[in-house]
């Protein structure tokens, strides 16, 4: 029985050597394929040559490229470049630009050809202004978009064409914060409705998360809280005007101390 055992052992050794040689050959082949792939993907003819920015007005191209270029220059596993048509991290560029530059509302990254990348941006438009402090004293003001997102510091001179808001936000740097989140559009619509009634609102002041004052141009104010919707508040004010309890000529507006809407359907008027 020993000769048979020796033959079996010899066959096993040969098979093992053959398997090892096969694995080594496959490993060398895999390394060659990887090396060839890396060589091809690193060819200058496949690299991105230009990156252009379109759609920007107040955000500089340099500011955008300072964020985009390091992402374009990244490499997978330190050997596979991403600055080409096949591996460019487009979504990373979009996320980083929107995350770091609040002025940008949307970003699209596309190739105009195999070697040229175009970054198309849309900037947020100033719709209203938020200021720290209170309506009688404020130092810093910021621009907000139509959703109440604070995206830039405003000039010291407020634009009279934009609605101005106070309160709710206490952060030293409010850029990136959303004013009156979830209810901002309702608040702006209320502000606009009062303007259409010729009441001349100039600012919206959240004295607390539940109580608000709308300051009027001639010194009076409208007081509301969160017990009703702003739509209901506007309806109540319009009813007072329609029933001649409140006039909207300049002389009458100058006599207003306050209009208090915090008592259900009852409207409290106080005049000088």
Beta-bridge partner residues of 225: 211
Looking at 95, 123, 151, the residue that finishes a domain is 123
Mean predicted confidence (pLDDT) in 255-261? 96
| Per-residue confidence (pLDDT) for residue 6, from 0 to 100 | 65
101/7 same-domain check: no
Please return the burial class of 152, using the count of CB atoms within 10 Å of its CB with bins 0-12, 13-18 and 19+: middle
154/217 same-domain check: yes
138/233 same-domain check: yes
| Per-residue confidence (pLDDT) for residue 86, from 0 to 100 | 87
246/172 same-domain check: yes
Query: What is the distance, to the nearest Å, from the Cα of residue 256 to the centroid of all Cα atoms in its chain?
Result: 40
Q: What is the pLDDT of residues 220-231, one digit of tens each?
A: 999 999 999 999
Enclosing domain of residue 25 = 1-41
If DSSP states are collapsed to H, E and C, what string results for 57-99? Answer: CCCCHHHHHHHHHHHHCCEECCCEECCECCCCCHHHHHHHHHH
168/85 same-domain check: no
Arithmetic mean of pLDDT over the chain: 90
51/34 same-domain check: no
**Banded model confidence at residue 35, pLDDT cuts 50, 70, 90:** confident
- Range of weakest confidence among 77-86, 110-119, 191-200: 77-86
Looking at 68, 98, 123, the residue that finishes a domain is 123
Q: What is the pLDDT of residues 148-198, one digit of tens each?
A: 999 999 875 555 568 999 999 998 899 999 999 889 999 999 999 999 999
Indicate the pairing of strand 256-263 with strand 221-225.
Answer: parallel
What is the rounded CA–CA span in Å between residue 82 and residue 49? 13
The count of domains in the chain is: 3
179/63 same-domain check: no
| pLDDT of 7 above 70 | no
97/213 same-domain check: no
| Per-residue confidence (pLDDT) for residue 231, from 0 to 100 | 96
| Per-residue confidence (pLDDT) for residue 182, from 0 to 100 | 85
Looking at 123, 151, 180, the residue that finishes a domain is 123
Question: Is pLDDT larger for residue 126 or for residue 29?
Answer: 126
| Per-residue confidence (pLDDT) for residue 188, from 0 to 100 | 95
User: What is residue 182's DSSP assignment?
Assistant: T
Mean predicted confidence (pLDDT) in 211-225? 95
221/134 same-domain check: yes
The pTM of this model reads 0.79
CATH code: domain of residue 246: 3.40.50
- Contact status, residue 228 vs residue 251, Cβ threshold 8 Å: no
Mean predicted confidence (pLDDT) in 97-125? 95
**Banded model confidence at residue 34, pLDDT cuts 50, 70, 90:** confident
| Per-residue confidence (pLDDT) for residue 17, from 0 to 100 | 80
185/219 same-domain check: yes
């Amino acid at each position: 029985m020993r000769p048979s055992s020796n033959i079996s052992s010899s066959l096993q050794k040969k098979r093992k050597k053959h398997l090892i040689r096969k694995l080594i050959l496959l490993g060398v082949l895999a390394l060659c394929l990887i090396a060839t792939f890396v060589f091809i993907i690193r060819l200058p003819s496949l690299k991105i040559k230009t990156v252009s920015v379109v759609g920007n007005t107040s955000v500089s191209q340099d500011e955008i490229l300072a964020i985009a270029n390091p992402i374009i220059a990244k490499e997978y596993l330190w050997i596979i470049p991403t600055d080409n048509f096949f591996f460019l991290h487009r979504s990373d560029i979009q996320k980083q630009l929107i995350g770091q530059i609040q002025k940008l509302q949307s970003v699209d990254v596309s190739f105009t050809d195999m070697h040229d990348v175009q970054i198309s941006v849309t900037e947020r438009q100033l719709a209203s202004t938020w200021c720290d402090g209170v309506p009688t004293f404020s130092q810093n003001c910021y621009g907000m978009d139509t959703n109440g997102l604070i995206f830039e510091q405003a000039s010291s001179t407020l634009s009279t064409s934009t609605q101005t808001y106070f309160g709710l936000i206490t952060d030293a740097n409010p850029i990136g914060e959303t004013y009156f989140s979830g209810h901002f559009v309702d608040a702006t619509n209320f502000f606009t409705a009062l303007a259409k009634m010729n009441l001349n609102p100039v600012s919206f002041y959240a004295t607390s998360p539940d109580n608000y004052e709308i300051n009027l141009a001639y010194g009076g104010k409208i007081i509301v809280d969160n017990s009703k919707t702003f739509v209901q508040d506007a309806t109540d004010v319009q009813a007072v005007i329609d029933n001649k309890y409140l006039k909207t000529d300049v002389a009458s507006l100058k006599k207003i101390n306050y209009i208090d809407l915090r008592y259900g359907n009852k409207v409290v008027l106080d005049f000088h």
